[in-house]
Structure 1
Amino acid sequence: MWKKIVGGTVLLLITGLLAFVKKHDTSKISALSLAEVEHQLDGSVRNPIREVDTVLAKIGYTIITEGKAEYKGYKGKLVSSYFVCTDCHNLEQEYSSLTEHSPEDKLVYTTEHNLPFLPASSFYGIYNRKQFYTKDYVKKYGELVNDARDTLENAVQLCAKYCSSGRYLEDWELDAIMHYFKSTELKLKDLKLSHQELSALENLERLSSDQKEAILKKVRSKFTQSYIATFLPAMDVNKRGYGENGNAENGKLIYEKSCLHCHDNARVTYLDLDHDKLDAQMFWRNINNYTDKSLYQIIRYGTYPIAGRKQYMPLYPEEKMSNQQLEDLVAYIKELAAV
Structure 2
Amino acid sequence: MFGKVKIGTILTSLAVLVLVASFTVIQPQQEQFFLSDNDDLWTVYEKLGKIRFNTVDPSVKGVSAEKGRDIIFKGYSTKQDGKGRTAQQSPYFKCTACHNTEKEFDDLSDISAQNRLDYAEKHDLPFLQGSSFYGLVNRKTFYNDDYQKKYGHVPIIKASNTDIRKAIQLCATQCAQGRALEDWEIESVLAYYNTIGLKIKDLNLKPAEKKEVETAVDNDKDLHQAVHLLEAKYLATSPAHFAEHKTYSPITEAEKKDTESFKNGQLIYERSCLHCHEAERYSFFALDKSKFSFVNLLNRTKANKDGSIYKIVRHGTWPLAGKKAYMPLYPIEKMSEDQLDDLKIYIENMAIGNNLAVQ
Q: Mark yes or no: TM-score above 0.5.
A: yes
1:224 aligned residue (221, 231, 235): 235
Whether 1:155 aligns to 2:167 is yes
> Measured at CA, do residues 73 and 141 of structure 1 come closer, stay the same or move farther in structure 2, by a change above 3 Å?
farther
Kindly indicate whether the alpha-carbon contact (under 8 Å) linking 1:98 and 1:223 is maintained by their aligned counterparts in 2: yes
What's 1:296 paired with? 310
Kindly indicate whether the alpha-carbon contact (under 8 Å) linking 1:125 and 1:184 is maintained by their aligned counterparts in 2: yes
> Measured at CA, do residues 254 and 217 of structure 1 come closer, stay the same or move farther in structure 2, by a change above 3 Å?
same
Letter in 2 for 1:179: A
Partners of 1:263 and 1:40 in 2: CA distance = 46
Kindly indicate whether the alpha-carbon contact (under 8 Å) linking 1:292 and 1:302 is maintained by their aligned counterparts in 2: no
* Mapping of residues 54-203 of structure 1, within 5 Å: 56-71=64-79, 72-73=82-83, 75-138=85-148, 139-140=150-151, 142-143=153-154, 144-202=156-214
Kindly indicate whether the alpha-carbon contact (under 8 Å) linking 2:33 and 2:217 is maintained by their aligned counterparts in 1: no
What's 1:276 paired with? 290
Identical-pair percentage:
36
Deviation per CA, 1:274-316, whole angstroms, max 9, x where unpaired? 1121221122222234422111111100011121110000111
TM-score between the two structures when normalised by the length of structure 1:
0.84
Partners of 1:175 and 1:148 in 2: CA distance = 15
> Measured at CA, do residues 141 and 85 of structure 1 come closer, stay the same or move farther in structure 2, by a change above 3 Å?
farther
The alpha-carbon deviation at position 140 of structure 1 amounts to 4.1
Q: Secondary structure of the equivalent of 2:327?
A: coil
Kindly indicate whether the alpha-carbon contact (under 8 Å) linking 1:300 and 1:317 is maintained by their aligned counterparts in 2: yes
Whether 1:315 aligns to 2:329 is yes
Task: Specify the structure having the higher radius of gyration (Cα).
Answer: 2
Partners of 1:325 and 1:171 in 2: CA distance = 40
- Tell me which stretches of 4 or more aligned residues in structure 1 moved more than 6 Å: none
Letter in 2 for 1:149: N
Give me the CA root mean square deviation. Answer: 2.6
Kindly indicate whether the alpha-carbon contact (under 8 Å) linking 1:99 and 1:222 is maintained by their aligned counterparts in 2: yes
Partners of 1:184 and 1:48 in 2: CA distance = 13
Corresponding residue pairs, total: 312
What's 2:320 paired with? 306
> Measured at CA, do residues 282 and 140 of structure 1 come closer, stay the same or move farther in structure 2, by a change above 3 Å?
farther
TM-score between the two structures when normalised by the length of structure 2:
0.80
Deviation per CA, 1:19-64, whole angstroms, max 9, x where unpaired? xxxx867245x5443223334445423122499x9x8212211110
Kindly indicate whether the alpha-carbon contact (under 8 Å) linking 2:316 and 2:326 is maintained by their aligned counterparts in 1: yes
Whether 1:336 aligns to 2:350 is yes
Kindly indicate whether the alpha-carbon contact (under 8 Å) linking 1:35 and 1:46 is maintained by their aligned counterparts in 2: no
The alpha-carbon deviation at position 94 of structure 1 amounts to 1.3
1:259 aligned residue (273, 277, 281): 273
Kindly indicate whether the alpha-carbon contact (under 8 Å) linking 1:148 and 1:154 is maintained by their aligned counterparts in 2: yes
What's 1:12 paired with? none
Kindly indicate whether the alpha-carbon contact (under 8 Å) linking 1:231 and 1:318 is maintained by their aligned counterparts in 2: yes
Kindly indicate whether the alpha-carbon contact (under 8 Å) linking 1:24 and 1:199 is maintained by their aligned counterparts in 2: no
Structure 2: give runs of 5+ residues left out of the alignment: 1-30, 354-359
Q: Secondary structure of the equivalent of 2:64?
A: helix
Deviation per CA, 1:75-99, whole angstroms, max 9, x where unpaired? 3111111000000001111112221
Partners of 2:52 and 2:35 in 1: CA distance = 24
Partners of 2:146 and 2:84 in 1: CA distance = 37
Letter in 2 for 1:159: C
The alpha-carbon deviation at position 168 of structure 1 amounts to 1.7
Kindly indicate whether the alpha-carbon contact (under 8 Å) linking 1:262 and 1:269 is maintained by their aligned counterparts in 2: yes
